[in-house]
Amino acid sequence: MLDTYIIPITPLPDQNEWNVPGYIKDDIVRPPKHKKLRPSPKYRDKVYNELYGKKSKNSCSTCGFKGHNRRSCRNGSCIV
For 62-72, how does the pLDDT look when each residue is reduced to its tens digit (9 = 90+)? 888 888 888 88
pLDDT of residue 58: 83
Amino acid at the residue 35? K
pLDDT of residue 23: 87
Do the Cβ atoms of 51 and 41 come closer than 8 Å? no
* The 3-state secondary structure of 41-77, one letter per residue: CCCCCCCHHHHHCCCCCCECCCCCCECCCCCCCCCCC
pLDDT of residue 49: 72
Question: Which residue ranges of the chain lie beneath pLDDT 70?
Answer: 1, 39-46, 76-80
pLDDT of residue 34: 83
